[in-house]
Structure 1
Amino acid sequence: MGASGWDYSVPYQEDLVGAFEGLRRKVFEERDYYWVSGADWRPAEQRLPWPATIEELWADEIVQETGTHSILDIFRIIGPDEEPDYCTMKQVTEEEALRVLGTRKPTRAHVPRFEEFDHWRWYGRCAVLHDEQGEPQEICFWGYSGD
């Protein structure tokens, strides 16, 4: 299948980790992810029921190999001085935004250019989006995952 790109936006909140965890819960609860073991292309007798928890989802060996093609494939946000690793997410710093976008405060208009930030498979990025007055409005999360 190959990796899939995904992106989400949530209203701004100061607690980035809380926003990330809330988004993951929402994606899981809404079943907005690829669940290969329950996929409708499988014969009905081979389909498994949707998992009840994220932990149950990740206990599935197939999911461990193929992922969910969603933010559920990312487990934690790393700090600005940490190196990107498998299943991590890193926030775009103001310095990085200035270097790539020419501004320290990206807006929704900059989202199409987010591909210019460093990115790899099984790794996510996030950025605070601002309004025209420079006030934070949203948090955008994006990445590539799945096999």
Structure 2
Amino acid sequence: MGASHWDHYVPYQEDLGAALEELRHRVFLADDYYWVRGADGLPEEERRPRPSTLDELWDDEWTQHSGTHSVLDVFIVQREEEAPEAFAVHPVTTEEARRATGTGRLTRDHVPAIQDLARERWYGRCAVLHDEAGTPEEIYFWGWSGA
């Protein structure tokens, strides 16, 4: 199948980790992810209903291998000073923002300029986006995942 790009805008909150958890919960409840066990190409005896919890989803060996092609494939938001890791979201640093856009205070208009900061599979990014007055307004999460 190959990797899939995913992205989401959520209202700003200071705790980026809490914002990610709320987003993951919302995506799971909306069934807005690829469920490998429900694939049309599978024989009927191998198909399974969608899991009822995230734990149940990640207990499935097929999901562990193929992922969900969604934000569900990342689990934590790292601190800016940490080295980026797989299965995590790394915030865009002020330096990265300046290099990509010429400013350290990003807005929604800057999103196309920062898209390439997430190119690796199983890896997400996030950026705080500001309104015209410079007030944090939303968080943009994006990345690539899935096998």
Counterpart residue type for residue 132 of structure 1: E
State the Cα distance separating 1:118 from its structure 2 match: 5.0
Counterpart residue type for residue 139 of structure 1: I
C-alpha distance in 1 between matches for 2:65 and 2:118:
24
C-alpha distance in 2 between matches for 1:76 and 1:19:
10
Asked if the contact 1:119/1:125 (under 8 Å) is kept, the reply is: no
Q: Percent identity between the aligned chains?
A: 56
Say how many residue pairs are matched.
147
Q: For residue 83 of structure 2, what is the aligned residue in structure 1?
A: 83
Q: CA RMSD in A?
A: 1.3
> Residues 88-130 of structure 1, C-alpha deviation per residue, up to 9 Å, x if partnerless?
1101122221122111111111111122325311000000111
C-alpha distance in 1 between matches for 2:44 and 2:139:
39
Asked if the contact 1:10/1:19 (under 8 Å) is kept, the reply is: yes
Asked if the contact 2:118/2:142 (under 8 Å) is kept, the reply is: no
Q: For residue 127 of structure 1, what is the aligned residue in structure 2?
A: 127
Q: For residue 117 of structure 2, what is the aligned residue in structure 1?
A: 117
Q: For residue 71 of structure 2, what is the aligned residue in structure 1?
A: 71
Q: For residue 11 of structure 2, what is the aligned residue in structure 1?
A: 11
Aligned to 1:84, the other structure's residue is in SS state coil
C-alpha distance in 2 between matches for 1:132 and 1:31:
34
C-alpha distance in 2 between matches for 1:70 and 1:42:
21
Q: For residue 52 of structure 2, what is the aligned residue in structure 1?
A: 52
State the Cα distance separating 1:43 from its structure 2 match: 4.3
C-alpha distance in 2 between matches for 1:55 and 1:137:
31
C-alpha distance in 2 between matches for 1:31 and 1:86:
23
Asked if the contact 1:100/1:116 (under 8 Å) is kept, the reply is: no
Asked if the contact 2:77/2:90 (under 8 Å) is kept, the reply is: yes
> Residues 57-110 of structure 1, C-alpha deviation per residue, up to 9 Å, x if partnerless?
011111111100000000111111211112011011222211221111111111
C-alpha distance in 1 between matches for 2:61 and 2:17:
27
Structure 2, unpaired ranges of 5+: none
C-alpha distance in 2 between matches for 1:81 and 1:16:
15
C-alpha distance in 2 between matches for 1:41 and 1:75:
29
Q: For residue 137 of structure 2, what is the aligned residue in structure 1?
A: 137
TM-score, with length taken from structure 1: 0.94
